[in-house]
Structure 1
Amino acid sequence: MDAAERSAELSRLERSSHTAFIEGSTLYVWGGYQVAGRQDVMLPTDELWLCDLDSGAWEWRKISGDAPPAGFCGARVNGELYVFAGCEPEGYASEMFSVDLCSERSTSYSWRKLTDTKGTTPSPRNKHSCWVHRDRLIFFGGYSCKTIGEVRNTSTSNFVVEEMSWTTIGNALFRCWGWSNEVTVFDTTTATWSTPETQGPAPAPRGCSASAVLGNKGYVSGGVEKAELDMFCLDLDTWTWTQFDVSPSRPSPLGRSMFTVTPTSDHTLFVYGGLGTDGNTLNDAWQFDTQTKEWNKMPNPHEDKPRWPSSGLHQKTTAETCWCFRPSRTRSSDCVKTSSAETPSASGSVSAGCRRRCTRKSTSAFPSSATRSRRSPPEEDESF
């Protein structure tokens, strides 16, 4: 491969808001976007990149079939990559797609659109996050839409309206777009959607938050305009929320969105980077102990490379290494390996696929204080 070909390949690898996961000794990277000038350019959703973590060599694979939209939320379950919702040319989507990746070095991958699902499909959305637990995809929050009737029957603590517009999606007419803290579940074994009733103090509606799973608990953090980073967990068996009250006498991370979280033991989570509520791109790394409920600031060997939104993974090996595919707003991409004694330079096994711009919908990375009070819907009778 000559220098020009190598440069073109690296350019195609540069990306943000992508999905990345490790299977065996292979890192899979799919989707995302690049920044060209001042515009977000979505990358093809019909291709997959594979990195051999032993040699560092990248390979390109074509994915045939009905490709999903961009601006997605993707996760891997039992050898299949599932992608839900995202952005289409006319707005947000609510379809579920999957591609079988069981054959690690297969040259024939194909997208499949799931059209025979059971239950009520969630409304179109973006900027949501996802947990994987017992063959289930559990989606949280994001920027979504509701009908006038649904908004009237929804508490302001569960949905914050940001804008209103007439939009026909399928056979439904949606008018209210805003931030949610809803939990919806997709069982991959039965292809069934469900909406559990949660208990306890739920997080405020938000988007572009970071999530991770430890045991039977799903953790979610950030994605809302607060001075300090918050942390909640949801028991994925009892559907009970718990908020962590962190000691004010100890330092804690700045509030942020579009960052990453990775479990590095059965009770610790690593947080890296993101977009701070002060508008700056962050390069700090923190560890949260779910047992002591304490934050600890960690040394970061990559302080010269702040970034958002990035993707990275923790790989359990004899040396306990952490691999990270790290795009940034400065149009760079690199794959870094660190030991467990070092701070991972990014984290989070599932990318929420948060784009800052999608068609004409919300352009903010997370709900601002100005949108916390829900706008009142019109008084006319519109029960859609």
Structure 2
Amino acid sequence: MADVQEDPPADEEEEEVEEEQLETEGSETFELDAPAERSGHVAVVDGNVMYVWGGYKNAQTHGFFDLYLPRNEIWTYNMESGVWKKHVAGGNLHTSMSGSCGVCVDGILYLFGGHHARGNTNRIYRLSLRATTLVWEEMKELKGLPPSSKDKLGCWVHRNRLVFFGGYGYAPQGSHRGTFEYDESSSLGYDSPGRGWNNHIHVLDLETLTWSQPITHGNTPSPRAAHACATVGNRGYVFGGRFKLGPVGRSWHSFTPVSSDHIFLFGGDAWLYCVSKNEWRPFKHNHTESPRLWHTACSGPDGEVFVFGGCANNLLSHRRAAHSNELLVFSVQPKSLVRLCMETILQHREHLSSYWDCLPKHLLYSLKQRMSRVNTLGS
């Protein structure tokens, strides 16, 4: 059964949550109008709204202490109006985490795995993003053999199935297809179970609520974590990742589908991968002074990619992490005719505003959303 966990006992877990709440809630003494800086968070898109959850930041000390962001806090970003809004979610999400894997399917956010104050987890939760009230629900009644407890894994979505690949965490308990490579540096004490990298593939069928491991063919990717996955058509793509002492090419980057034939790679520099030609080409952009790793990237409705948060220096160095809460926008695809018309109407709004009520309701709503963004920017 999938509700067999590799987490600490329940009573220890409850004590951890209580202590963690005091630490996270007490650290924010005033309301913010934008999310706090963070890395290792998740972000998904439903419609024209981006949802951000979790991750960690530096504690308010001068040492190398990390602070998980509150588990009940969810931020939304409206891609038309440019407005951030904080929401408080209920439910039974057991703790704050980083390195979790989050995907959105039909308006539902699925959250798997991650790392919390006491180690890794293999629990999975869901959150209906279109409900009046946001409530986390742990998915306990699952059949089949679940993945091992891990973080920094990747996920593809295909035909109502979640396909998880790789990650870094505890050795699997039971017979798992694939390879687990033990990290000798992970055992810091006699009681530590140690962790490592894997190349396991686990599929969760959202209709039957069953875990399975497919039989694969061809050259299997090496075990890895902090890689990035993208789905284009009926194919899943994986790029990069970390294994043992160094990154394989790169790690902690993002890999975002932007068309039926292109995937956008960002990790400081930016690239476009052409699926049909199997070719890379550099992508010129205006954010060359904003390097990022362990950020999130979401594709918007107008051919844009929204990169949020992440770290601007090397997380593995002996320097204090430079976490960010900056939002970077990349125009990857040409603007649509509707988008160009909207921008022209806003540019000449003093002369055209009297005609706005003649527009179809959905265009008028979109125009007013964009108008509020213009007012906020003061132009």
The structure with the greater share of residues assigned to strand is 1
Could you say which residue in structure 2 is the equivalent of 1:39? Answer: 65
Q: In the alignment, is residue 199 of structure 1 matched against residue 217 of structure 2?
A: yes
Could you say which residue in structure 2 is the equivalent of 1:272? Answer: 266
Could you say which residue in structure 2 is the equivalent of 1:117? Answer: 142
Q: Which whole-Å deviations, capped at 9, do the CAs of 1:304-326 have from their partners, x for residues lacking one?
A: 11111111222233xx3333324
Query: Where do 5+ consecutive residues of structure 2 fail to align?
Result: 1-27, 313-321, 335-379
Equivalent of residue 50 in structure 1, options 76, 80, 87: 76
CA distance in 2, matches of 1:228, 1:301: 29
Shift, 1:290, TM fit? 1.9
Amino acid at match of 1:24: G
Q: Secondary structure at the match of 2:216?
A: coil
Amino acid at match of 2:274: D
Equivalent of residue 29 in structure 1, options 18, 37, 52: 52
Q: Secondary structure at the match of 1:296?
A: strand
CA distance in 2, matches of 1:299, 1:6: 40
Q: In the alignment, is residue 321 of structure 1 matched against residue 304 of structure 2?
A: yes
CA distance in 1, matches of 2:195, 2:244: 22
Per the normalisation by structure 2, the TM-score is: 0.69
Shift, 1:174, TM fit? 9.7
Q: In the alignment, is residue 134 of structure 1 matched against residue 159 of structure 2?
A: yes
- Identical amino acids, percent of aligned pairs: 34
CA distance in 2, matches of 1:29, 1:334: 13
Amino acid at match of 1:22: V
Amino acid at match of 2:331: S
Query: Where do 5+ consecutive residues of structure 1 fail to align?
Result: 168-172, 231-254, 274-282, 343-384
Equivalent of residue 184 in structure 1, options 202, 211, 221: 202
Q: In the alignment, is residue 159 of structure 1 matched against residue 151 of structure 2?
A: no
Shift, 1:178, TM fit? 1.4
Shift, 1:130, TM fit? 0.9
Mark the structure with the bigger radius of gyration: 2
Shift, 1:196, TM fit? 0.7
Q: Secondary structure at the match of 1:257?
A: coil
CA distance in 2, matches of 1:93, 1:288: 33
Shift, 1:6, TM fit? 12
Amino acid at match of 2:72: D
- C-alpha RMSD over aligned residues: 3.1
CA distance in 2, matches of 1:86, 1:341: 33
**1:111/1:48 CA distance change after superposition, 3 Å:** same
CA distance in 1, matches of 2:214, 2:310: 35
**1:6/1:324 CA distance change after superposition, 3 Å:** farther
**1:315/1:154 CA distance change after superposition, 3 Å:** closer
Q: In the alignment, is residue 92 of structure 1 matched against residue 142 of structure 2?
A: no
Could you say which residue in structure 1 is the equivalent of 2:287? Answer: 302
Per the normalisation by structure 1, the TM-score is: 0.68
Shift, 1:332, TM fit? 3.0
Equivalent pair of 2:198/2:224 in contact (CA under 8 Å): yes
CA distance in 1, matches of 2:70, 2:141: 26
Shift, 1:166, TM fit? 11
Amino acid at match of 1:263: P
CA distance in 2, matches of 1:322, 1:92: 30
Q: Secondary structure at the match of 2:32?
A: helix
The structure with the greater share of residues assigned to helix is 2
Shift, 1:30, TM fit? 1.1
Shift, 1:118, TM fit? 0.6
Shift, 1:226, TM fit? 10
Q: Which whole-Å deviations, capped at 9, do the CAs of 1:198-230 have from their partners, x for residues lacking one?
A: 111011100000110000111001113599997
Q: Which whole-Å deviations, capped at 9, do the CAs of 1:85-125 have from their partners, x for residues lacking one?
A: 2224332111111111123xx3x211111111111122211
**1:316/1:148 CA distance change after superposition, 3 Å:** closer
Amino acid at match of 1:288: Y
CA distance in 1, matches of 2:76, 2:204: 27
Could you say which residue in structure 2 is the equivalent of 1:73? Answer: 101
Shift, 1:300, TM fit? 2.3
Shift, 1:259, TM fit? 0.3
Q: In the alignment, is residue 59 of structure 1 matched against residue 85 of structure 2?
A: yes
Amino acid at match of 1:66: N
Shift, 1:264, TM fit? 1.6
